[in-house]
């Protein structure tokens, strides 16, 4: 198990990561989601022992992770390939481990087949597309058979089909051998398709709410009643907070009431819009609607049926000002 404990990390004195505890259990599939600049990449570099935290420790099975670095590998966002062919790139980590030529050849064949790279083994980096470079980088990481594979925005340069193929390959690899995969992504949809263990990162901290409906805002300051109306996309969200200035707003999807018509209620936030997507997952449905900004509500299958909700249907989202988290 890979874990960060009591970690604070600073760049030039600025706190960029502040985590009491972050675990990547054995054989798990973890997704870290958050805005650009939320600390995802820094977190992955700490987990990969490429940087040491300013405070706190990173451990692997109870031992300092720096000593176990060969068991963890990271594929960075926009990865680089080394000089040489795809075959030489995939073999790099195995050569670094002094493996025999026959074993290297076998392993290169195995992972290149898994990632659909067999036809590209003789090519050099300038002969590859961005998506192919990404797949080669993942194959290069899988070739060394790490215990933990860290991926930073693996679908950033891939289309939907390529991204699904990549996640499928990772699932196959996890079924074939003990492997934990931790993916940082800003694409919630991909994350939800791939795993249930989703952790939201905002401003370097783990967010206490489901990582949807997160908005970077500028708080104008409260009125006499402690309420403030914050511009988010094309709507103004009522929030109870005494903070001012830059902040993150989080609207927990479970706190959003869904109806076909506005209901008389105490909710200060009532927005009409159209359903854009229904994502079915264990325990219910994540309903996305464009209400001036994209919002997600968590509802049951039964409610979805009763309200006859489908993409394009009119819908009203209501939630209380006090339900909106500010941090």
Partner 1 sequence: MDFLGDGLRRALGLLFAGDPETYGVALLTFKVAAVATVIACAAGIPAGFLLASRPFWGRRAALTVVNTALAFPTVLVGLLLYGLLSRRGPLGGLSMLYTWQAIALGDVLLAFPIAAALSAAAVQGVDPRVRRTALTLGAGPWRAAWTVAREARFALAAAITAAFGHVIAEIGSAMIVGGNVRGQTRTLTTAIALSTSQGDFGLALALGIILLVLALLVNVALQVLQGRGDA
181 binds partner 1 per the rule CB under 8 A: no
Q: Which residue has the tokens 């049926």?
A: 305
126 binds partner 1 per the rule CB under 8 A: yes
123 binds partner 1 per the rule CB under 8 A: no
Distance CA 5, CA 22 (A): 7
- CA distances (Å), origin 211, targets 25, 305, 308, 325: 20, 25, 26, 12
Q: Which residues lie across from 32 on neighbouring strands? A: 184, 199
11 binds partner 1 per the rule CB under 8 A: no
Q: Which residue has the tokens 């325990």?
A: 283
9 binds partner 1 per the rule CB under 8 A: no
Our CB check for partner 1 shows the closer of 72 and 121 to be 72
- Name which of residues 259 to 298 contact partner 1 (CB under 8 A): none
Closest distance of CB 185 from partner 1, Å = 19
Among 8, 10, 59, 124, binds partner 1 (CB under 8 A): 124
Q: With CB under 8 A as the contact rule, which of the stretches 42-50, 206-214, 235-243, 262-270 interacts with partner 1?
A: 42-50
Q: Which residues lie across from 85 on neighbouring strands? A: 124
Among 16, 48, 247, 275, binds partner 1 (CB under 8 A): 48
Our CB check for partner 1 shows the closer of 139 and 247 to be 139
144 binds partner 1 per the rule CB under 8 A: yes
CB 90 within 8 A of CB 139: yes
Q: How many residues bind partner 1 (CB under 8 A)?
A: 24
Closest distance of CB 85 from partner 1, Å = 10
Q: For the stretch 308-324, what's the b/e string if a residue is b when 16 or more beta carbons lie within 10 angstroms of its beta carbon?
A: ebeeeeebbbbbbbbbb
- CA distances (Å), origin 303, targets 148, 306, 325: 39, 5, 25
Our CB check for partner 1 shows the closer of 30 and 141 to be 141
Parallel, antiparallel or unpaired: strands 55-60 and 29-33: unpaired
Closest distance of CB 81 from partner 1, Å = 9
Our CB check for partner 1 shows the closer of 12 and 161 to be 12
Q: Which residue has the tokens 């891939």?
A: 158
CB 215 within 8 A of CB 247: no
Q: Binding string to partner 1 for residues 66 to 105, with x set by CB under 8 A, is what?
A: ---xx-xxx-x--xx-xx--------xx--xx--------
3-state helix, strand, coil in the chain (%, to 5): 30, 35, 35
Binding site for partner 1 (CB under 8 A): 45, 48, 50, 69-70, 72-74, 76, 79-80, 82-83, 92-93, 96-97, 124-126, 137, 140-141, 144
């Amino acid at each position: 198990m890979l874990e960060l404990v009591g970690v604070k990390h600073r760049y030039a004195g600025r706190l960029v990561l502040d985590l009491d505890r972050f675990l990547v259990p054995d054989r798990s599939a973890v997704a870290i989601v958050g805005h650009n600049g939320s600390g995802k990449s820094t977190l992955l570099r700490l987990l990969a022992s490429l940087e040491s935290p300013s405070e706190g420790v990173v451990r692997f099975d109870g031992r300092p992770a720096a000593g176990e670095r060969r068991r963890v590998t990271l594929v960075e966002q926009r990865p680089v390939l080394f000089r040489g062919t795809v075959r030489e790139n995939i073999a790099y980590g195995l050569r670094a481990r002094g493996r025999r030529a026959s074993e290297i050849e076998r392993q290169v064949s195995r992972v290149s087949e898994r990632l659909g790279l067999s036809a590209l083994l003789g090519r050099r980096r300038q002969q590859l597309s961005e998506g192919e470079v990404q797949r080669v980088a993942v194959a290069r990481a899988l070739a060394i058979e790490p215990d933990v594979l860290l991926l930073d925005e693996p679908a950033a340069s891939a289309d939907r089909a390529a991204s699904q193929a990549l996640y499928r390959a990772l699932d196959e690899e996890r079924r074939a051998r003990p492997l934990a995969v931790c993916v940082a992504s800003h694409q919630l949809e991909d994350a939800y398709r791939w795993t249930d263990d989703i952790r939201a990162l905002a401003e370097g901290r783990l967010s206490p709410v489901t990582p949807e409906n997160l908005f970077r805002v500028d708080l104008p300051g409260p009125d006499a009643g402690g309420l403030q109306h914050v511009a988010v996309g094309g709507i103004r969200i009522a929030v109870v907070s005494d903070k001012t200035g830059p902040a993150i707003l989080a609207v927990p999807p479970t706190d959003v009431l869904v109806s076909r018509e506005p209901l008389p209620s105490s909710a200060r936030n009532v927005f009409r819009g159209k359903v854009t997507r229904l994502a079915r997952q264990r325990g219910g449905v994540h309903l996305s609607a464009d209400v001036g900004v994209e919002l997600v509500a968590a509802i049951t299958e039964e409610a979805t049926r009763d309200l006859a909700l489908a993409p394009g249907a009119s819908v009203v989202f209501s939630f209380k000002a006090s339900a909106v988290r500010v941090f």
